[in-house]
Amino acid sequence: MSIDMEQFHQTFFEESFEGLDIMENELLNLDVGNADNESINTIFRSAHSIKGGSGTFGFTAIAEFTHVAETLLDEMRDGTRQVTQEAVDILLKSVDVMRDMLGVYKDGGDMDEENNNAVQKELEDLLGVEGASASDEGSNDSANETTAGGWQISFRPHIEMLRTGNDPVRMMHALGELGKIEVVVNISELPSFADLNPEDSFLSWEITLTGDISKDDIVEVFDWVEDECDLDIQPIVNESENVAEAPQAAASDTLATEKAEKDPAAKKATAKKGGSETASIRVGIDKVDEIINLVGELVITQAMLGQVGGEISEDEKHDESRMEKLLEGLAQLERNTREIQESVMRIRMLPISFVFSRVPRLVHDLSSKLNKKVNLVTLGEGTELDKTVMEKIGDPMVHLVRNALDHGIETPEQRLEAGKDETGTLTLNAYHKGGNIVIELSDDGAGINKERVLNKARSNGLVGENEELSDDAINDLIFHPGLSTAEALSDVSGRGVGMDVVRKNIKSLGGSVRVDSTEGKGAVFTIQLPLTLAILDGQLVKVGNETFVVPLVSIIESIQVKSDNLNGIAGKADLYKLRDEYIPIIRADHIFNMHGGDSTLDNRLMVVVEGDGHKAGIIVDDLLAQQQVVIKSLETNYQRVDGISGATILGDGTVALILDISGMIDMYKEKGTPEPTTPVTPPQGNDSDIADEAA
Torsion of CA 633, 635, 640, 645, to 10 degrees: 10
Instruction: For residue 351, state whether it binds other proteins (rule: CB under 8 A).
Output: no
DSSP for residue 641: B
Of the residues 520, 634, 681, 683, which one makes contact with other proteins according to CB under 8 A: 634
Minimal distance, residue 318 CB to other proteins, in Å: 33
Pick the stretch among 104-112, 263-271, 391-399, 575-583 that binds other proteins (CB under 8 A): 263-271
Of the residues 288, 497, 641, 691, which one makes contact with other proteins according to CB under 8 A: 641
Minimal distance, residue 105 CB to other proteins, in Å: 13
Minimal distance, residue 590 CB to other proteins, in Å: 10
Instruction: For residue 288, state whether it binds other proteins (rule: CB under 8 A).
Output: no
Residue 37 exposed, middle or buried by CB count within 10 Å (0-12, 13-18, 19+): middle
Instruction: Find the DSSP H helices in 371-439.
Output: 387-403, 412-417
Q: What is the largest CA-CA distance in the chain?
A: 127
Instruction: For residue 56, state whether it binds other proteins (rule: CB under 8 A).
Output: yes
Rg (CA), the chain: 37
Please, which of residues 129-188 interact with other proteins by CB under 8 A?
Answer: 135-139, 162-167, 170, 173-174
- In the bound state with other proteins, the residue whose beta carbon lies nearer, of 635 and 687, is 635
* Cα-based angle 639, 641, 646 (whole degrees, multiple of 5): 85
| Distance in angstroms (rounded) separating the CA atoms of residues 573 and 595 | 19
Report the length, in residues, of the chain. 695
# residues near other proteins by CB under 8 A: 91
Please, which of residues 425-464 interact with other proteins by CB under 8 A?
Answer: none
Of the residues 80, 240, 278, 593, which one makes contact with other proteins according to CB under 8 A: 593
Instruction: For residue 63, state whether it binds other proteins (rule: CB under 8 A).
Output: yes
Pick the stretch among 186-194, 208-216, 253-261, 560-568 that binds other proteins (CB under 8 A): 253-261
Minimal distance, residue 656 CB to other proteins, in Å: 7
| Distance in angstroms (rounded) separating the CA atoms of residues 229 and 157 | 4
Strand partners, 385: 350
Instruction: For residue 75, state whether it binds other proteins (rule: CB under 8 A).
Output: no
Of the residues 376, 389, 591, 690, which one makes contact with other proteins according to CB under 8 A: 591
In which element (H, E) is residue 52 found?
helix 37-56
In which element (H, E) is residue 626 found?
strand 622-630
| Distance in angstroms (rounded) separating the CA atoms of residues 392 and 382 | 18
- Is residue 181 within 8 Å of 205, Cβ to Cβ? no
Instruction: For residue 657, state whether it binds other proteins (rule: CB under 8 A).
Output: yes
Of the residues 228, 386, 406, 660, which one makes contact with other proteins according to CB under 8 A: 228
Of the residues 253, 421, 451, 467, which one makes contact with other proteins according to CB under 8 A: 253
Q: Which residues are catalytic?
A: 48, 70, 403
Instruction: For residue 635, state whether it binds other proteins (rule: CB under 8 A).
Output: yes
- Is residue 103 within 8 Å of 109, Cβ to Cβ? yes
Pick the stretch among 254-262, 373-381, 397-405, 511-519 that binds other proteins (CB under 8 A): 254-262
- In the bound state with other proteins, the residue whose beta carbon lies nearer, of 524 and 586, is 586
Of the residues 290, 320, 642, 675, which one makes contact with other proteins according to CB under 8 A: 642
* Cα-based angle 172, 176, 181 (whole degrees, multiple of 5): 95
Instruction: For residue 5, state whether it binds other proteins (rule: CB under 8 A).
Output: yes
Minimal distance, residue 287 CB to other proteins, in Å: 17
| Distance in angstroms (rounded) separating the CA atoms of residues 136 and 546 | 74
Pick the stretch among 183-191, 484-492, 510-518, 634-642 that binds other proteins (CB under 8 A): 634-642
Instruction: Find the DSSP H helices in 208-284.
Output: 215-221, 245-270
- Is residue 180 within 8 Å of 149, Cβ to Cβ? no
Write b or e for each residue in 46-61: b if 16 or more Cβ atoms lie within 10 A of its Cβ, otherwise e. Answer: bbbbbbebbeebebeb
Pick the stretch among 146-154, 267-275, 362-370, 440-448 that binds other proteins (CB under 8 A): 267-275
- Is residue 496 within 8 Å of 515, Cβ to Cβ? no
Instruction: For residue 668, state whether it binds other proteins (rule: CB under 8 A).
Output: no
| Distance in angstroms (rounded) separating the CA atoms of residues 549 and 294 | 22
Instruction: For residue 395, state whether it binds other proteins (rule: CB under 8 A).
Output: no
- In the bound state with other proteins, the residue whose beta carbon lies nearer, of 280 and 371, is 280
- In the bound state with other proteins, the residue whose beta carbon lies nearer, of 45 and 81, is 45
Instruction: For residue 98, state whether it binds other proteins (rule: CB under 8 A).
Output: no
Please, which of residues 32-51 interact with other proteins by CB under 8 A?
Answer: 42, 44-45, 48-49, 51
The pattern of x and - marking residues 289 through 308 that bind other proteins according to CB under 8 A reads ----x--xx--x--------
- In the bound state with other proteins, the residue whose beta carbon lies nearer, of 164 and 371, is 164
Measured in whole angstroms, the distance separating CA 10 from the mean position of its chain's CA atoms is 17
Instruction: For residue 283, state whether it binds other proteins (rule: CB under 8 A).
Output: no
Instruction: For residue 695, state whether it binds other proteins (rule: CB under 8 A).
Output: no
Which residue type occupies 20?
L
| Distance in angstroms (rounded) separating the CA atoms of residues 643 and 664 | 5
Please, which of residues 501-540 interact with other proteins by CB under 8 A?
Answer: 508
| Distance in angstroms (rounded) separating the CA atoms of residues 96 and 642 | 40
- In the bound state with other proteins, the residue whose beta carbon lies nearer, of 134 and 416, is 134
Could you please report the per-residue DSSP string of 278-322? PP-----HHHHHHHHHHHHHHHHHHHHHHHHHHHHHHH-TTSHHH
* Parallel, antiparallel or unpaired: strands 555-560 and 605-611: antiparallel
- In the bound state with other proteins, the residue whose beta carbon lies nearer, of 415 and 590, is 590
